[in-house]
Structure 1
């Protein structure tokens, strides 16, 4: 199996796990709006979503071993694609035509990106000064986005996407440095960067939980777009990654990115008609995570934020 194919397959499984975790997080946030972090730490359902996130993260780390940042990170859009049928299955409804259109656009855009971003397994890594500089700049951006103000859902989602994208870039440095370069697992580079990975990964998780209090659709779309943007900037500017095909490849990549972004936004804005009596199927493989309350049949998880009277953001 080629490095590119291995990275794509691992990214696909990672996206499915992330999608299940995102749906679970959104339902938990909807059930307990405004709940603090300490309250979440005592909720078993939240810990199940953490387990799903951790599993997805491990698959993502493996993908970063075989693929470049510019290849692996855009595949994170598959999370939203996977969330569509999962959310529909749990809600007991069919996938709408708008959702199918958004899925098709996303997959077409990703296919164009795969052509231009595919390449050999990564080799370059960030030095400790580079990693610290990236971490400092990202921390400043996250702090600015997390301040009180308007559109908190989208701002926290953007901050979460930046944190996750930087965590992935730093993770790739740890993985490559600890394996391909025969560095000790206790070397200064590996230890420092691993600590930064832990900080940004945890921060991204908590920021996304806050963002999902306004619904899943728009925040997840913003996270999906901000994540590869942050990682691509690092990969292209600091790790020597290049797009295939010269000027034509760059143009194809830009078109693909635009089409994928269009698909992501379409998915986030899709508004399927709710069923009169939504059903949570007990035989669903993630029912234990998604069925947060025994009597939660009155709630239908959706990829669309709730209406304005909920007090939360309702559009991208």
Structure 2
């Protein structure tokens, strides 16, 4: 699990045993598909969420409807932009991009560039996952495809699959998670260099063994530490009685060594009826004071077993030690 280079990173870390504070509880996004991930534009105070597209939706340029299974297989994503009061202020669609396990955001003027996976290929479960990385500007109402002129594609690890990305907004870095020859890895890059096509990682680490037999649900990074999220939704019996408790874990991994520093059970949003962990991201509430950053956990939720209107809830930790 060694590093590809002596990263020499040093920073404070989030105390994962500290309690979580609720930010938004069960805000609506877009229809019947659960949120997969999210990221912040801290400059413009926007929140971007990623979902797989629902079935039955016909986009501009399409001549037929597609089922939800079709959308999953193709890797069709819906990106929703919200303000920091939780109101939807924009939406765009990415066709053939991937599953949306993690996204990144790079502010640009009064909008932002999205960092995502792209060139989706279906796996054995017929879910599409990206084989490369993409950067594309958010344009409200746009529908873009991998060959669209608005898209810049990157191939930092040729032959890899399950590509996803996240952005460390405090230090200007990009994280790339991927699978290569069956092994899961994370690489950390300088964002500016990566944009220029220089794929020289500051560090590359193997996914720790503690995360081998879990349902992986997202990641982010700040400074010296990579943070990951895993777990599943509550289960219920035929009478609607909850039969499980939280198995949501947040883990910190040292980029310098590739080893787990801390792994902590999270009870954030424990009272949600449906509660599936979906994504991590770094928020900087005041860009003049990036030292006061927050580690956000996202949860997909719904009001009942028969409710198809998916919502999202967000909680944060802010104790840096």
Greater RCO, 1 or 2 (C-alpha within 8 Å, sep 6+): 1
**TM-score, normalization: structure 1?**
0.24
Higher-strand-fraction structure: 2
Task: Output the TM-score relative to the length of structure 2.
Answer: 0.23
Report the structure, 1 or 2, having the larger helix content: 1
